[in-house]
């Protein structure tokens, strides 16, 4: 089939791609055939552009000191993207008003039509300058937080580096580190209150301009949330409070006993209670290929193919950006995995997580439109979080002995449970804030305190750090930079537990359902995708209880 975009197209400026947008804008799409061809061509254009931008982004992350890479990336963002977004908005309008749109079948097109309508619904000309102002304000968060560092033994550490020292066995040392981190955060807390105050007011105005009553309702539409409402989020919060918080309390109790402490404090939560030596997984990449192959030969092949094509950059080194991601390359049909391995347990978690995203990219590569290959996080994270859990079956490959393998599994299972109350808190807090945009910073802190008490076990003592508790929310980047985007991880985590449960019950059926669900891409709604995976997209208390009990039973079966 002839492609719309010349494979030699070299994108150097907006002018090099403008003719393609013009062509699409001018074309007649009044018949189903013409419309489908138009969608195909538009997708070909978007795939080309997205892959071009992907490489610019990946290269600059691989070497932040390379000015040429940086310029190439910034040039796209500042000189091309704004024109592209405006032109894309016009194409969306053309699509949604095409008389042939009603002739498109709801599978696979239904989601895409719904999402486009929501995008147009939240769009308001009046908001263009406000959105630009908001993006600038959002950048301030990083400007305030990223220079923060503390000095330990004459070494300057970022707060992230410092917090890994909280795994140290020496309690007095941990307390000292914690104290230093807390004081650093406190030193910018007023500034962050003020920044957040501006953001809340601006976001409220943006919602009003777009015809909404409040920012929460605006944001639900803007995020394309068609499968659940704020009411469902509250159901989820309640279920977490009733089923997860008591379990975390139980974990804390065990921790307290194992560490032989009178009171458990926030600086006692990271130290490993099952062993003295750090967990160091061996040849992570090759072992992952083997582990994935044992689950399904295709999974192993996907990662091998990436290895052969140089699509993995895993080791940490100087001038490499922090973090890790799987970046789909839609035109090539393969992804790129970027990570910063540091020789610890977290590397393994990252590899199997990003590996799950990579499998998703491969399984959807042949879908006809790019819109079917771009998934909302509720779906994307189901792929990655499920892989974290089902790959555990073969984690012995990464370690020298059974004890370390089991320690790794215990940590994984505690992690996935302990994060759920935090997700609920971060989400619930934002519901309160945006429904009451006139609150003062102190009133916001009070609300956070109330929420925190509700979702945190009472056997954790904050005595000396009471003042820090009320600003804990300030360490969550999402609250400042990507409002309301967070609960997705909670939903996906529950889905992943269900996938793992099915897998444990019947390996073959579990994998087959997982593959089938991933292969759907975004051609069905979220509920149907979860259902295909053998999970429910549900916030029902009984269901959540069942899942959590399963995790706990599995955990109790692991013997050290």
Phi-psi region of 27 (alpha: psi -120 to 50; beta: other; left: phi over 0): beta
Interface with Zn ion, residue 243, by CB under 5 A: no
Q: Between 384 and 430, whose beta carbon lies closer to Zn ion?
A: 384
Q: How far apart are CA 465 and CA 470, in angstroms?
A: 10
Q: Find the shortest distance in angstroms from Cβ 150 to Zn ion.
A: 29
Coil, strand or helix: which one is 104?
coil
Q: How far apart are CA 137 and CA 143, in angstroms?
A: 10
Q: Between 384 and 405, whose beta carbon lies closer to Zn ion?
A: 384
Q: Pick the stretch among 232-240, 368-376, 380-388, 389-397 that binds Zn ion (CB under 5 A).
A: 380-388
Phi-psi region of 280 (alpha: psi -120 to 50; beta: other; left: phi over 0): beta
Q: Between 331 and 353, whose beta carbon lies closer to Zn ion?
A: 353
CB distance 423 to 484 below 8 Å: no
Q: Find the shortest distance in angstroms from Cβ 325 to Zn ion.
A: 8
Taking alpha carbons only, the member of 389, 373, 421, 321 closest to residue 519 is: 373
Q: Between 383 and 408, whose beta carbon lies closer to Zn ion?
A: 383
Interface with Zn ion, residue 493, by CB under 5 A: no
Q: Pick the stretch among 108-116, 141-149, 244-252, 377-385 that binds Zn ion (CB under 5 A).
A: 377-385
Give the chain's end-to-end CA distance (angstroms, integer): 58
Q: Between 384 and 538, whose beta carbon lies closer to Zn ion?
A: 384
Give the DSSP H or E segment for 241. Answer: helix 230-243
Q: Find the shortest distance in angstroms from Cβ 292 to Zn ion.
A: 16
Q: Find the shortest distance in angstroms from Cβ 386 to Zn ion.
A: 11
Q: Find the shortest distance in angstroms from Cβ 383 to Zn ion.
A: 8
Q: Find the shortest distance in angstroms from Cβ 338 to Zn ion.
A: 12
Q: Pick the stretch among 384-392, 432-440, 459-467, 487-495 that binds Zn ion (CB under 5 A).
A: 384-392
Give the DSSP H or E segment for 336. Answer: strand 334-341
Q: Between 251 and 302, whose beta carbon lies closer to Zn ion?
A: 302
Residue choice 61, 340, 384, 493 for contact with Zn ion (CB under 5 A)? 384
Q: How far apart are CA 559 and CA 409, in angstroms?
A: 11
Question: Which residue, judged by CB position, is nearest to Zn ion in the bound state?
Answer: 384
Looking at 279-318, list the stretches that DSSP marks H as alpha helix, in order from N- to C-terminal side: 284-295, 297-308
Q: How many residues bind Zn ion (CB under 5 A)?
A: 1
Q: Between 255 and 353, whose beta carbon lies closer to Zn ion?
A: 353
Q: Pick the stretch among 103-111, 336-344, 379-387, 423-431 that binds Zn ion (CB under 5 A).
A: 379-387
Q: Find the shortest distance in angstroms from Cβ 353 to Zn ion.
A: 6
Q: Between 47 and 488, whose beta carbon lies closer to Zn ion?
A: 488
Q: Find the shortest distance in angstroms from Cβ 505 to Zn ion.
A: 25
Q: Find the shortest distance in angstroms from Cβ 377 to Zn ion.
A: 8
Extended strands (E) in 13-96: none
Instruction: Name the strands in the sheet holding 325-329, side by side, starting at the edge strand that comes first in the sequence.
Output: 312-315, 334-341, 325-329
Q: Pick the stretch among 88-96, 115-123, 241-249, 382-390 that binds Zn ion (CB under 5 A).
A: 382-390
Question: How would you write 155-219 as a 3-class SS string?
Answer: EEEEHHHHHHHHHCCCHHHHHHHHHHHHHHHHHCHHHHHHHHHHHHHHHHHHHHHCCCCCHHHHH
Interacting residues toward Zn ion by CB under 5 A: 384
């Amino acid at each position: 089939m002839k492609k719309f975009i010349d494979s030699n197209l070299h994108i150097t400026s907006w002018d090099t791609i403008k003719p393609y947008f013009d062509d699409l804008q001018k074309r007649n799409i009044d018949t189903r055939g013409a419309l489908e061809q138009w969608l195909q061509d538009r997708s070909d254009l978007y795939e080309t552009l997205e892959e071009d931008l992907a490489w610019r982004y990946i290269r600059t992350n691989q070497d932040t000191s390379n000015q040429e890479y940086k310029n190439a990336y910034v040039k796209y963002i500042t000189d091309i993207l704004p024109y592209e977004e405006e032109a894309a908005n016009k194409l969306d309008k053309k699509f949604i008003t095409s008389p042939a749109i009603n002739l498109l079948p709801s599978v696979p097109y239904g989601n895409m039509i719904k999402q486009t309508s929501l995008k147009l619904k939240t769009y308001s000309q009046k908001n263009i300058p406000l959105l630009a102002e908001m993006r600038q304000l959002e950048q301030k968060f990083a400007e305030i937080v990223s220079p923060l560092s503390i000095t330990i033994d004459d070494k300057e550490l970022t707060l992230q580096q410092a917090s890994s020292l909280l795994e140290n066995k020496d309690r007095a040392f941990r307390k000292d580190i914690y104290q230093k981190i807390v004081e650093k955060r406190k030193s910018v807390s007023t500034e962050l209150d003020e920044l957040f105050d501006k953001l809340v007011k601006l976001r409220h105005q943006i919602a009003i301009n777009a015809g909404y009553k409040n920012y929460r309702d605006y944001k639900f539409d803007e995020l394309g949330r068609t499968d659940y409402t704020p009411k469902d989020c509250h159901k989820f919060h309640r279920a977490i409070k009733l089923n997860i918080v008591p379990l975390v309390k139980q974990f804390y109790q065990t921790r307290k006993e194992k560490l032989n402490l009178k009171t458990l404090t926030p600086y006692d939560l990271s130290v490993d209670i099952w062993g003295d030596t750090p967990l160091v997984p061996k040849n992570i990449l090759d072992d992952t290929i083997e582990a994935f192959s044992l689950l399904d030969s295709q999974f192993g092949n996907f990662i091998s193919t990436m290895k052969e094509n140089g699509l993995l950059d895993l080791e940490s080194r100087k001038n490499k950006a922090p973090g890790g991601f799987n970046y789909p390359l839609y035109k090539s049909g393969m992804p790129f995995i970027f990570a910063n391995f540091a020789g610890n347990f977290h590397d393994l978690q990252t590899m199997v997580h990003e590996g799950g995203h990579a499998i998703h990219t491969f399984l959807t590569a042949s879908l006809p439109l790019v819109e079917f290959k771009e998934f909302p996080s509720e779906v994307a994270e189901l792929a990655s979080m499920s892989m974290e859990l089902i790959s555990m079956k073969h984690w012995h490959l990464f370690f020298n002995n059974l004890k370390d393998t089991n320690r790794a599994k215990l940590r994984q299972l505690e992690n996935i449970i302990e994060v759920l109350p935090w997700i609920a808190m971060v989400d619930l807090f934002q519901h309160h804030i945006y429904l009451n945009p006139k609150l003062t910073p102190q009133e916001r802190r009070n609300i956070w305190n109330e929420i925190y008490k509700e979702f945190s076990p009472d056997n954790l003592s904050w005595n000396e750090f009471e003042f820090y508790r009320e600003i804990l929310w300030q360490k969550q980047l999402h609250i400042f930079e990507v409002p309301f985007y967070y609960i997705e991880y909670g939903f996906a985590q529950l889905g992943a537990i269900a996938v793992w449960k099915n897998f444990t019950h019947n390996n073959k059926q579990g994998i087959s359902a997982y593959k089938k669900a991933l292969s759907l891409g975004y051609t069905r709604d979220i509920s149907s995708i979860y259902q295909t995976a053998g999970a429910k997209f549900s916030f029902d208390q009984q269901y959540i209880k069942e899942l959590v009990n399963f995790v706990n039973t599995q955990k109790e079966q692991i013997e050290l």
